Amino acid sequence: MTIDRNYRCMVVKPDDFDDFWEGVLTDVACVDLDPVMEKDPLRSNEDVDVYQVFFTSIDQVRISAWYSLPKNPNGKLPAMVQLPGYQSDPPIPRDWAAKGYACISVNPRGKVRSRSQFDPGYPGLLTYNIIDKNSYSYRGFYVDAWRSVDFLLSRPEVDSDRIGAVGGSQGGALATTIAAMRSEISAVSISAPYLCGYMDAIELTHTYPFHEINDYLNIYPDRRDQVAQTLAYFDGISFAEKIKCPVILNVGLQDNVVPPETGFALFNAIASEDKVLYEYDGHGHEAGRYVHDAIIDNFFETHLKGVR
Amino acid sequence: MVEKAPSGFKSFWDKIDDDLAHIPIAAEAEHIPMRSTDKYDLYGVRITSVGPYRLFGYLSIPKTDEILPAIYYVPKNGSVHEIIPQGTAVAVREHYVTFSLACRGMRNSDRPYAAMYPGQLTDGLESAESYVYRGIAADTIRGLEYMITRPEVDKDRISAWGNDNALLVAARRKQITHVITQPAYLFDTIKNSTKTTSYPLAEFSDYLRLHPERTSQVNEILDMYNLRWHAPYITAKTLVRADDSEGIYGPKVLAEMYEHIAGEVTIHESEQSSFKDGLFAEKWLTQEMLGSTATPIVPEHWQAFI
């Protein structure tokens, strides 16, 4: 199968895209962050302190997160936002802390530990209120991820000029949007990005979780245009021209979850002039991580620690 | 020297079987139109396990009058409960009866017990009776017991697919004819948990860091679930998906377990590619369940490689 590296997704960025998200950000700006941090002795070890974190996001939904810090840091720390996949549980980011970063791993609404006020389920999250951009699941879900930056900015140990974002799959989509919407992000690593070119993806591959949309359209075929219109506001490709920081992006050419074509389309749409694409032939949704993890480490060492 | 299972092993598992035998499955199946098509139907199924505890599963049945091979996606170690695993070709549901069970604590089976991840693997580890895995093991067996009540299922072709639980259920029930497994935490658990800071094994090292005085007791409790002792009872044909040689559960480590499996074993060392590892598993399953001339059912981006 030949992959078209110049694949163009059918998504069209809505004319009022910026107005829509500006309105959302205005709404969330009125919400008190109200951060709470509780040390977790069970998950802390000799190198890393782990905290359970809670903060408030849009619609007054309380969000949980893991926050890890290296023990005995020297001065202010570079920081990382680690974004979670769709069906995996957000990891405790001890590895990033062991490398010298303050790292938050957020559980957006509906994830375990953040389910009490909003819980559309899995399957379910991808199509929850999918015909209404103002109540679609990912409106709040994205904001919850972006709100992690506000938490980091509230921390005295964090150097606000050195914040990165990293994630794979849904985490790659969230990393895309956070880099677009939060200017504090100074470098971003995007792996196998989900939630890009939705309406193409559901034709290019027939696997879950994208197939949730096909399930929905199977019983509501008349809503296809409405679905596409909503998703255009949440498509990573629509956010891409707002990304100005350094970017690395990796795709697996045999990705069975997120079609690589949509990853190429995202990369081509990213506005940053400092962007590098890594493609891994012979690899699926893990997108070559056994090799690429070291590239990610070096990327952030360069951009957040000044190591060259 | 022949290694022997710990004392009390047989009675421990006999008691679980006995507990299950005294609790009716009490299955209810409700059709889910949104996730059904003209080729297959999906049902949400509720069954009862020991406790008693009510569980939820997704049952997918092809629209045909034939009896069909079945795939039992055993409960995994994570909160999300899928219909079929992420990245699996949906067309699998046209050719197999599939059943995916959420054990206690997972989403959809989380009332009254909602597990945390990480957290689930050490819940109740204070004693063998209170340890949550006793219930999870029973749930896994109960899922198979439900599957074999289904008239659509070919009883000569039932595979268990998943983590350590696939081996556990095959050890306890001969109706499992094939296993595809990727062990992650039930083989020599404590010994291997000291080699990594990654979850799920790290749950145990976290626990013992806080409670080092319980090491011996925890070892005893976990030994009841140790795949080392279950392996000789497994007669199913088994594909073991091992980590690569650098991983915790690489082929060399797992050899001490899989060499004792009574059924025919194929070992596949990870090629550090979810594509290559997944394709190998799909080809193996197709050959075993559908025959050597059948075409593996794989996602679009893998089809050029079959």
How many percent of chain A have pLDDT more than 90? 97
Whether residue B295 is contained in a domain is answered as no
Looking at residues A15-29, what average pLDDT do you find?
A: 98
* pLDDT exceeds cutoff 60 at A30: yes
Looking at residues A193-201, what average pLDDT do you find?
A: 98
Give the model confidence (pLDDT) of A214-269 as tens digits: 999 999 999 999 999 999 999 999 999 999 999 999 999 999 999 999 999 999 99
CA of A45, closest CA in chain B: separation in Å? 8
CATH number of the structural domain spanning residue B150: 3.40.50.1820
β-pairing, A36-39 with A48-56? antiparallel
C-alpha–C-alpha distance, residues B190 and B231, integer Å: 18
**Cβ under 8 Å to A: B residues 96-115:** 107-108
Q: Which residues of B touch A250 (CB under 8 A)?
A: none
- Catalytic center residues of A: 169, 255, 283
How many percent of chain B have pLDDT more than 70? 99
Nearest CA in chain A to B80: A87
Whether residue B14 is contained in a domain is answered as no
* pLDDT exceeds cutoff 70 at B1: no
At B2 the pLDDT is 54
CA of A169, closest CA in chain B: separation in Å? 12
Domain enclosing residue B65, as ranges = 27-288
User: What is the helix (H) or strand (E) element at residue A48, kind and residue range?
Assistant: strand A48-56
At A215 the pLDDT is 98
Quote the number of domains for chain B: 1
Q: Is A30 exposed, middle or buried (0-12, 13-18, 19+ CB in 10 A)?
A: exposed
Whether residue B296 is contained in a domain is answered as no
Q: What rounded mean pLDDT belongs to chain A?
A: 97
Look at B116 and A91 and tell me if their CB atoms are within 8 Å. no
Whether residue B303 is contained in a domain is answered as no
* pLDDT exceeds cutoff 60 at A74: yes
Whether residue B8 is contained in a domain is answered as no
Question: Touching check for B21 and chain A: CB below 8 Å?
Answer: no
At A1 the pLDDT is 72
Angle at A86 between CA A81 and CA A89, to 5 degrees: 70
Q: Which of A42, A282, A285 sits opposite B87 (nearest CB)?
A: A285
Domains and CATH numbers, chain A: 17-303 (3.40.50.1820)
Phi-psi domain of B181 (left: phi exceeds 0; alpha: psi -120 through 50; beta: other): beta
Paired with B30 in beta bridges are B44
User: What is the helix (H) or strand (E) element at residue B12, kind and residue range?
Assistant: helix B9-21
User: What is the helix (H) or strand (E) element at residue B254, kind and residue range?
Assistant: helix B251-258
The per-residue b/e assignment along A286-301, b for 16 or more CB within 10 angstroms, e otherwise, is bbbbeebeeebeebbe
C-alpha–C-alpha distance, residues A79 and A178, integer Å: 14
User: What is the helix (H) or strand (E) element at residue B251, kind and residue range?
Assistant: helix B251-258
C-alpha–C-alpha distance, residues B284 and B290, integer Å: 10
How many percent of chain B have pLDDT more than 90? 99
Looking at residues B104-132, what average pLDDT do you find?
A: 96
DSSP string, A209-270: TTHHHHHHHHH-GGGHHHHHHHHHTT-HHHHGGG--S-EEEEEETT-SSS-HHHHHHHHHH-
Give the model confidence (pLDDT) of A41-59 as tens digits: 999 999 999 999 999 999 9
- Give me the amino acid identity at A58: I
